[in-house]
Amino acid sequence: MKDKLIKQLVLTISKCESEDELRDLLKGLLTAAEFNTIATRLEIVRMLKSGVSQREIAEQLQVGIATITRGTREIKLGHFKNIK
């Protein structure tokens, strides 16, 4: 069941035709805290991929090293290929 729900979520997101439409969908689905958490995680990945140290990321974004380490692990697993 969860796989089906995740597939529906991905398909719904992929059908958004504009940035405004996607933002509206995400704001409807997520709390403000969840929305900010996702945005922060994406920024962590961008910073890691551009060579910024974990310590620097932690200081700049006010996040824990464990959160950054998770991003590092996901990059090593081959995720986030389209994020620069």
Provide the pLDDT for residue 10.
95
Is 84 a residue whose pLDDT tops 90?
Answer: no
Provide the pLDDT for residue 67.
95
Is 1 a residue whose pLDDT tops 90?
Answer: no
- The packing angle between helices 19-29 and 32-49, to 10°, is 120
pLDDT tens for each residue of 22-66: 999 999 999 999 999 999 999 999 999 999 999 999 999 999 999
Q: Which has the closest alpha carbon to 84: 36, 41, 47? A: 47
